Amino acid sequence: MFTLPLDDLAVLRPLEPWQAPEFLAHIDRARPQVDPWIPWATFSTDLESAAATLQRYADRQATDAGRIFGIWLEGTLVGGVMFTRFDSTSGVCEIGCWTESAGQGRGLVGRACRTLIDWAFTERGISRVEWWVASGNTRSAAVARRLGMTREGVLRRHTPYRGERRDIEVWSVLSEEWPTIASERSAAAAVQAQLDRLMGVFVGAFTNTEGRRPDLGVIRDIFVPQGRIIANVGPEPVFYDLDSFIEPRQKMLTDGTLTEFSEWEVAERTEVFGSIAHRFSEYRKSGFHNGEWFEGSGHKTTQFLRTPEGWRMSSLAWDDLPSSSPRDGQRPPRR
């Protein structure tokens, strides 16, 4: 059985009839969220009916007419996604989703849906993916919107449910409109490269090894003009604008106070959210301070903005760890 990671704690994998007990326990937890909107949840009330629901999807998969997948978070089934209809001949399929409260707020359903849609377009040659949602199911409609789907219209009084007929909204995305996972990864890699470059310019600006003359003025080029830099290495944080940060450090690195200095990133974790990004870094540094050798390390947190001129840093804060140099355990100088 294949398993696809959705994040560090969650996976996506097929949901099969033999998992009916686990499925039923999950549906019982999820019933307040899904019962009003997903018909089979209404009817999956005991082990026999839960197994029948999964068997229907197994039968559809056997004829290439549908599939169902579960989302497990830390080993517990918390939701899922499915092809409720799949017609490779016409090139049209329908996708849906559900989740219990424990699976919400982590983006798991969105990532799982993207995986299925990408597979339908790139592997199966599907032309159109639909999303049918009962009017009033705002959470489901929001997922469709986040997936880049277009709301095409309403099928009035289309579906009977517990003695009344519901309007159904129809959303869709076409193959030529879909940014494939490969293209998204390529775009993400391009953004990562830009953020890597900005950090490289920042830490490289301080280097004065082997006769190199540092030029901290480049920091103005990689920050927005209103940028802030924060030292959190003493009893209270110290806040700098760009000029107040650059000028004393340029002097220290060129008047003999700090020589053969360099700093480098040893680990980083970067997260991009649309036009903003955050990077958490670990770094090391070394050099001579007033003729005495030191080595240091610490952490940085950096925020970035995408501007009309490209990605720029907006703020950076750092904290030095205790020095490992023979300076009585003192921290290295605030560079």
Q: Write out pLDDT tens, residues 282-297.
A: 999 999 999 999 999 9
**314 neighbors 277 (Cβ within 8 angstroms):** no
The burial class, CB within 10 Å (0-12 / 13-18 / 19+), for 221 is exposed
Mean pLDDT of 231-258: 93
pLDDT at residue 331, as a whole number: 45
My answer on whether 127 and 203 are in the same domain is: no
- CATH number (domain holding residue 234): 3.10.450.50
Question: For residue 90, what pLDDT band results from cuts at 50, 70 and 90?
Answer: very high
pLDDT > 80? residue 57 = yes
Asked, for residue 333, whether it belongs to a domain, the answer is no
pLDDT attached to residue 322: 72
29-53: average pLDDT: 87
pLDDT 10s digits, 251-261: 999 999 999 99
pLDDT at 238: 95
Q: Please check whether residues 66 and 26 belong to one and the same domain.
A: yes
- Please tell me whether residues 150 and 138 are part of one structural domain: yes
pLDDT bin (cut points 50, 70, 90) of residue 32 is confident
* Structural domain contains residue 328: no
Q: How many domains does the chain have?
A: 2
Within a domain: 332: no
- Domain assignment present for 34: yes
- CA dist., res. 333 & res. 47, Å (int): 67
**5-14, 171-180, 183-192: least confident range:** 183-192
Domain match, 121 and 28 both: yes
103 and 201 part of one domain: no
Give the residue from 139, 161, 178 where a domain finishes: 178
Dump pLDDT digits (tens) for 176-227. Answer: 899 876 677 778 888 999 999 999 999 999 999 988 889 899 999 999 999 9
Please name the residues in contact with 12: beta carbons below 8 A apart, sequence gap of 6 or more. 3, 4, 5, 6, 69, 70, 71, 72, 81, 112, 115
If asked whether residues 17 and 119 sit together in one domain, one would say yes
CB 334 within 8 A of CB 233: yes
Same domain, 170 and 25: yes
Q: Is the pLDDT of residue 274 over 50?
A: yes
Residue 163 belongs to a domain with what CATH number?
3.40.630.30
Q: Give the pLDDT confidence score for residue 182 in this predicted structure.
A: 66
Contacts 24+ apart (CB under 8 A), 328-332: 331/233, 331/296, 332/285, 332/289, 332/294, 332/295, 332/296
Mean pLDDT, residues 156-172: 90
Question: Which residue among 178, 205, 238 closes a domain?
Answer: 178
What's the pLDDT at 60? 96
Question: What is the per-residue pLDDT for 105?
Answer: 87
215 and 291 co-located in one domain? yes
Q: Are residues 30 and 163 in the same domain?
A: yes
Q: Which residue's entry shows tokens 């294949």? A: 2
- Among 135, 153, 178, the domain boundary falls at 178
**Same domain flag for 229 and 290:** yes
- 275 within domain boundaries: yes
Do residues 189 and 200 touch, judged by C-beta distance below 8 A?
no
Q: Is residue 68 part of a domain?
A: yes
Mean pLDDT of the chain: 90
What is the extent of the structural domain holding 151? Answer: 4-178
Parallel, antiparallel, or unpaired: how do β-strands 76-87 and 276-289 relate? unpaired
Residue 196 domain flag: yes
Cα 73 from Cα 105, distance rounded (Å): 12
- Considering only residues 2 and 59, tell me which one the structure prediction assigns the higher pLDDT: 59
pLDDT at 181: 65
Query: Where is average pLDDT lowest: 86-90, 150-154, 247-251, 324-328?
Result: 324-328
Same domain? For 174 and 192 the reply is no
- Torsion sign over Cα 321, 324, 326, 332: negative
Confidence (pTM): 0.60
Give the C-alpha separation, 248 to 77, whole Å. 56
The answer to whether residue 331 sits within a structural domain is no
Sign for the CA dihedral angle at 243, 244, 246, 251 comes to positive
pLDDT confidence of 40, banded at 50, 70, 90? confident
Written as six digits, the tokens of 250 are 């340029």
Tokens 């006769």, residue located? 211
| 126 in the same domain as 273 | no
Q: How many CA atoms are closer than 13 Å to the CA of 305, on its beta-carbon side?
A: 12
CB 163 within 8 A of CB 130: no
Q: How far is CA 162 from CA 83, 137, 152, 157, 165, in A?
A: 24, 16, 26, 13, 8
